[in-house]
Amino acid sequence: MSGDEEFEAHLSALREGFRARLGAHHASLVAYRKAMAVDLDSVSLGEARALAHALVGTAGTFGFEEVSEAAAELESVIDAVLAGEAERSMIVAPLRSLIREVELSL
Partner 1 sequence: MSRYRILFVDDEPDMRDIAVLSLRREPSFEVTACASGEAALEVAKDWNPDLILLDVVMPGLDGPATLARLRQASASAAIPVVFLTARSRPEDVERLMRLGAAAVLPKPFRPHALADAVRPFLVTP
> What would the x/- binding string for partner 1 be over residues 60 to 89, using CB under 8 A?
xxx--x--x---x--x--------------
Residue 37 beta carbon to partner 1: minimum distance, rounded to whole angstroms: 28
Contact region with partner 1 (CB under 8 A), list: 35-43, 55-63, 89-97, 98-106: 55-63
Report in angstroms how near the CB of residue 42 gets to partner 1 at its nearest. 24
φ, ψ dihedrals at 85, nearest 5°? -100, -5
Distance separating alpha carbons of residues 101 and 64, to the nearest angstrom: 9
Select from 40, 54, 104, 106 the one that contacts partner 1 (CB under 8 A).
Answer: 54
Q: What is the DSSP string of 74-101?
A: HHHHHHHHHTTSS-GGGGHHHHHHHHHH
| Closer by beta carbon to partner 1, 61 or else 89 | 61
Nearest to 95 by CA among 39, 41, 15, 25: 25
Q: Report in angstroms the alpha-carbon separations of 9 from 4, 16, 32, 64, 100.
A: 9, 11, 35, 17, 28
Residues making contact with partner 1 (CB under 8 A):
3, 7, 10-11, 14, 17-18, 21, 53-54, 56-62, 65, 68, 72, 75
